[in-house]
Homo-oligomer: A and B are copies of this chain.
């Protein structure tokens, strides 16, 4: 592949001039600049990224490490990140941690090695990753979940409050035995939603009970089993607060299998909005999270930090809002 000196030879100038011309530095004779541009074009010249990055000691790439590319919540975040990154001339490397501390550490490792300008992370909660990041000076912002132990810029949503509101809504609709299906213990979003659910129960003077709560992975399958167990036990719940939209699929399947109708038989509110929720009969009530905005904001914070504009770390908590549809009233 053509190098800068090939271009220099062809244009009859030095490599320095080529570099200046190609990078749009002011001080280049227009005529020479034109010759350089022409030569570069003819040769199909592309600057060698690694060489440039090595020399400049910086890259124009951001890494985004999320737990699941197939989860619409995270892809919406990715969209937000990508739009502002792209706007600012940065590329985005997307990585899947699968919510695994090990894969997460591996990806953080390569991000560090490749000397990315910054990393956006939805942390699994592994202290090791946080440690790793803290030891190096690469700017980081945590999205959706905080980075354990080490303060960093963070963009969260107020899951606890949203869960409380959803629970109060259910209670207000006359459901008296509200259950909760949330994610794995230790995952902050899962724990916060559970806490908010308990807040809601308390505020509406409803009885809480361990038998009304189940945990599962944030996937459809586990949620289906958990919902089935919950609904077939003695004294089953008459409403369910569900941890995310993938789980909602499982819950709805379990309901259908038991010939229970959302709303009429069992009130349902799930976290995450999705385009298909309005197609159901009845449509699904949801807690909509501002995923795109979270991504965009996180990217902006990261870019600011990269350019050294801010010193103090900040935590921004966005609010989610309840969208009431048919599945949460009889």
> Are B96's CB and A93's CB within 8 A?
no
Which of A43-51, A163-171, A181-189, A206-214 lines the interface with chain B?
A43-51
> Are B79's CB and A1's CB within 8 A?
no
Task: Enumerate chain B residues within 8 angstroms of A287, measured Cβ to Cβ.
Answer: none
> Are A69's CB and B75's CB within 8 A?
yes
Within the oligomer, what is the number of copies of this chain? 2
Complex CA distance for A51 and B46, rounded to whole angstroms? 18
Complex CA distance for A60 and B110, rounded to whole angstroms? 10
- B46, B91, B249, B280: which contacts A93 (Cβ < 8 A)? B91
> Are B48's CB and A54's CB within 8 A?
yes
Complex CA distance for A109 and B220, rounded to whole angstroms? 39
Which of A119-127, A142-150, A230-238, A270-278 lines the interface with chain B?
A270-278
Task: Enumerate chain B residues within 8 angstroms of A274, measured Cβ to Cβ.
Answer: 276
Whether a CB of chain B sits under 8 angstroms from the CB of A27 is no
Complex CA distance for A192 and B155, rounded to whole angstroms? 44
Task: Enumerate chain B residues within 8 angstroms of A109, measured Cβ to Cβ.
Answer: 46
Complex CA distance for A219 and B281, rounded to whole angstroms? 22
Task: Enumerate chain B residues within 8 angstroms of A92, measured Cβ to Cβ.
Answer: 93-95
Interface of A is mostly: helix
Complex CA distance for A78 and B93, rounded to whole angstroms? 13
Whether a CB of chain B sits under 8 angstroms from the CB of A12 is no
> Are A96's CB and B82's CB within 8 A?
yes
Q: Distance in Å from the Cβ of A128 to the closest Cβ of chain B?
A: 13
Complex CA distance for A107 and B91, rounded to whole angstroms? 8
Within 8 A of B (CB), among A42-65: 44, 46-51, 53-54, 59, 61
Whether a CB of chain B sits under 8 angstroms from the CB of A279 is yes
Q: How large is the interface on A (under 10, 10 to 19, 20 to 34, 35 or more residues)?
A: 35 or more
> Are A280's CB and B280's CB within 8 A?
yes
Q: Which of A256, A274, A276 has the most CB of B within 10 A?
A: A276
> Are A220's CB and B275's CB within 8 A?
yes
Within 8 A of B (CB), among A71-114: 72, 75-76, 78-79, 82, 91-96, 107, 109-110, 112-114
Given contacts A70-B75, A220-B275, contact A1 B249 (CB under 8 A): no
Task: Enumerate chain B residues within 8 angstroms of A61, measured Cβ to Cβ.
Answer: 114
Q: Which of A76, A79, A91 has the most CB of B within 10 A?
A: A91
Whether a CB of chain B sits under 8 angstroms from the CB of A298 is no
Whether a CB of chain B sits under 8 angstroms from the CB of A320 is no
Q: Which of A75, A112, A279 has the most CB of B within 10 A?
A: A279
5 A–B contacts, CB within 8 A, in A order: A1-B137, A49-B50, A69-B79, A93-B94, A220-B275
Q: Which 7 interchain pairs have the tightest Cβ spacing? A: A94-B94, A50-B53, A49-B114, A50-B54, A49-B113, A276-B276, A50-B50
